[in-house]
Structure 1
Amino acid sequence: MKRQFVLICMLGSLLVLSGCASSLTGETYSRDDARRPQVVRTGVVETVRPVQIEGSKTIIGPAAGAAIGGVAGSGVGGGRGAAIATVIGAVAGGMAGAAAEEGITRAQGVEITVREDDGSMRAYVQEASPEVTFRPGDRVRIQTLNGQTRVVK
């Protein structure tokens, strides 16, 4: 019974963590961004290179992992041994939860260097999108809203 509970908690935590991942592609807008004016500049792509965007590091992963690890550890031994196993399980679970959250929310990105029409050259990093690929020579728009910028075709 206890193992089933731990398994259900682990699966629930993974679902929660996967729900925390937000898209950083140029095609995804938040609800707050809809219907707001954006500053738009144009330019030509100079270079494109793949990059890794690190995952999020919130309290959710470690907390969920610690809870699951503590429950799992409490089932080991009895008396003082169970208390020690609970603490060890919680610490190990917290570390595993933090690593899982970072890994689940990690994303493949792309660094796009653009020579803008005013002559300036800037690099932009955003999540890679299978629907839209950038190549040197592509004409693009650079859109800025609330301090966040995206490159779109």
Structure 2
Amino acid sequence: MDGVKSCCGWRAWGLALVAVFALGACASGQGGATYSRDEARRAMVVQFGTLESVRPVLIEGTKSPVGTVAGAAVGGIAGSSVGGDRGSAIGAVVGAVAGGLAGAAIEEGVTRTQGVELTVRLENGQYLAVVQADQGERFLPGERVRILRDGGTTRVTR
């Protein structure tokens, strides 16, 4: 029976790794050159301006139930392999709680993104700041940029 429990523990850790990689694949692009399927074939308002400043920022990761549930499942399975009958039940509960907390933290960390805050002086003299993912575009203060707006989405491009 111990062989079965240790085998299940390794499976649990394997599932955790799969969940982490799946969460990384779910991270959506939030850069100036990334569009969702819903944004295709929509008209956008275009404005022009001069880039006043570029500041690196960190865009926090997602906080969905996926990481928590996956972590709780893996932690519960791993925790159930500890102790005898009663110890197994307690281990499962403690493992599920600890796994849920760890899973949520892992999801947020894996989906966290480097971003840039771009402050633009528009042609009408107004200022606009936009935060978007840093996709290596290397914006420089003083360069002319385009601002694209579509409902709640705003992006800065060259």
TM-score, reference length from structure 1? 0.96
Structure 2 unaligned regions, length at least 5: 1-6
| 3-state secondary structure, aligned to 2:61 | coil
Aligned sequence identity (%): 53
Structure 1 unaligned regions, length at least 5: none
One-letter identity of the residue aligned with 2:146:
R
Kindly state the Cα deviation for residue 8 of structure 1 after the two structures are TM-superposed: 2.3
The 5 Å alignment of 1:3-152 reads: 3-130=9-136, 132-152=137-157
Kindly state the Cα deviation for residue 122 of structure 1 after the two structures are TM-superposed: 1.2
| 3-state secondary structure, aligned to 1:149 | strand
| 3-state secondary structure, aligned to 1:72 | helix
**CA distance in structure 1 between the aligned counterparts of 2:114 and 2:143, rounded to whole angstroms:** 21
CA RMSD of aligned residues (A): 0.9
**CA distance in structure 2 between the aligned counterparts of 1:48 and 1:15, rounded to whole angstroms:** 31
| 3-state secondary structure, aligned to 1:41 | strand
Kindly state the Cα deviation for residue 10 of structure 1 after the two structures are TM-superposed: 1.1
Q: Which residue of 1 aligns with 2:8?
A: 2
TM-score, reference length from structure 2? 0.93
Kindly state the Cα deviation for residue 20 of structure 1 after the two structures are TM-superposed: 1.8
